[in-house]
Amino acid sequence: MLRPVEIEAYGLLLRPWEEGDAPDMLRGLTDRDYLRWNPPAAEPVEDIEGAIDFVRTRALGWRRGETASFAVLEDGVVRGSINVNSIDPRTGSGRVGYWTLPEARGRRLASRALEACTRWAFRDLGLHRLELGHAVGNDASCGVARRCGYAYEGTLRDALPDVDGGFLTVHLHARLTTDPAPDVTTARTAARADGRTRDR
């Protein structure tokens, strides 16, 4: 079991998803760009009830110790999502994933959220390696990986199914706890780089 926490860093608040966030979750999971770059879900989220159920699975991931899933808030408003998935204490590894709502793009919000979450996972979860995969052609996600010090490690051919019944080739990036931590701060993000956490 993982203890749910809140993280404050880089002008953002990362906190566990709540059922009241379901409208934002629905917008994120039905966004055209999200659907373009992510494999279709076994049970697609198409309405508010489905979004509520999906939020509940995020809470279950915390309880099982498998996934740490955060809503990303800026100025008190949900702007996106970031997760550490496939957490394996035995190998000290996990996988990160993120998305942002359309109005939050272009301001390095995903980079700030990823850096805050990465530092937390290394420091508080004791992980050694985090992997990040994105579909080839998703240049915005590749930029987030590079800005946050996730080194490119290779290409995974036809690694993800796509919405058209084909497959997406994936670029694999990874960061180790021993890698240098980048500076993703900007003029408007004066919060401490190492972040502040508090129990939920």
Give me the residue spans of the domains in the chain.
5-128+187-199
Residue 188 pLDDT level (bands cut at 50, 70, 90): very low
Mean pLDDT, range 119-134, rounded to an integer: 97
DSSP states along 33-84: HHHHHSPPPSS---SHHHHHHHHHHHHHHHHHTS-EEEEEEETTEEEEEEEE
H helices of the chain, in order, are 22-29, 32-37, 48-64, 109-124, 139-147
**What is residue 164's predicted lDDT score, i.e. its pLDDT?**
82
pLDDT tens digits for 51-108? 999 999 999 999 999 999 999 999 999 999 999 999 999 999 999 999 999 999 999 9
Residue 186's pLDDT band (boundaries 50, 70, 90)? low
Q: Which CATH number is 5-128+187-199's, of 3.40.50.150, 3.40.630.30, 3.40.50.970, 3.30.420.40? A: 3.40.630.30
CB atoms within 10 A of CB 102: 12
pLDDT at 187: 40
Residues with Cβ within 8 Å of 77's Cβ and at least 6 positions away in sequence, in order, are: none
Determine the angle formed by the axes of helices 139-147 and 109-124, rounding to 10 degrees: 50
Kindly tell me if the per-residue pLDDT of 196 is higher than 80.
no
